[in-house]
Amino acid sequence: MDLYYFSDNGFALRTGLEAGANNVFRCGFFIQSVPIYKLTTDEDDDLVSDNTPLAEIGFTTGLGIKLNANSSLDIFGIYSFLKYDDKYNDDYWRDQYSDEYSYSRIKIGCSIGYNF
């Protein structure tokens, strides 16, 4: 089954900078689709969603440290967030509902690389 439930609307845009020779500093920015869909209506007790996934926005940073001639240590961090209002109409009661959702996420990690 498709992650986006048979939707072809996924996207990912990423850009970044890298500076340095032996010790490298990296930073970046990204926008990517996530498989969360806004509700549009409540028809016969079935919630109907929009077909467009929502956009998550984030920032990345990292440091690459050369340990010796063949190995390096990379440390990175990622912060991303998503906030949206979910408004939909209940056709039976003729009411409009609104829910606000938001989340943020922080990831940190490191890796060691070795060149043969």
**pLDDT tens-digit profile, the chain (116 residues):** 455 555 556 788 999 999 998 899 999 999 998 877 666 665 555 666 666 778 899 999 999 999 988 899 999 999 999 887 766 666 566 666 677 788 899 999 999 999 88
The pLDDT value recorded for residue 11 is 82
In a domain, 87, yes or no: yes
Question: Which residue range forms the structural domain that includes residue 70?
Answer: 12-109
Task: Tell me whether residue 26 is in a domain.
Answer: yes
Give the pLDDT of residue 7.
52
Note the pTM of the prediction, 2 decimals: 0.67
Number of structural domains (the chain) is 1
On whether residue 7 sits in a domain, the answer given is no
Residue 116 lies in a domain: no
- Distance, in Å, from the CA atom of 87 to the CA atom of 47, rounded to the nearest integer, reads 12
CB 33 within 8 A of CB 55: yes
Tell me whether residue 57 is in a domain. Answer: yes
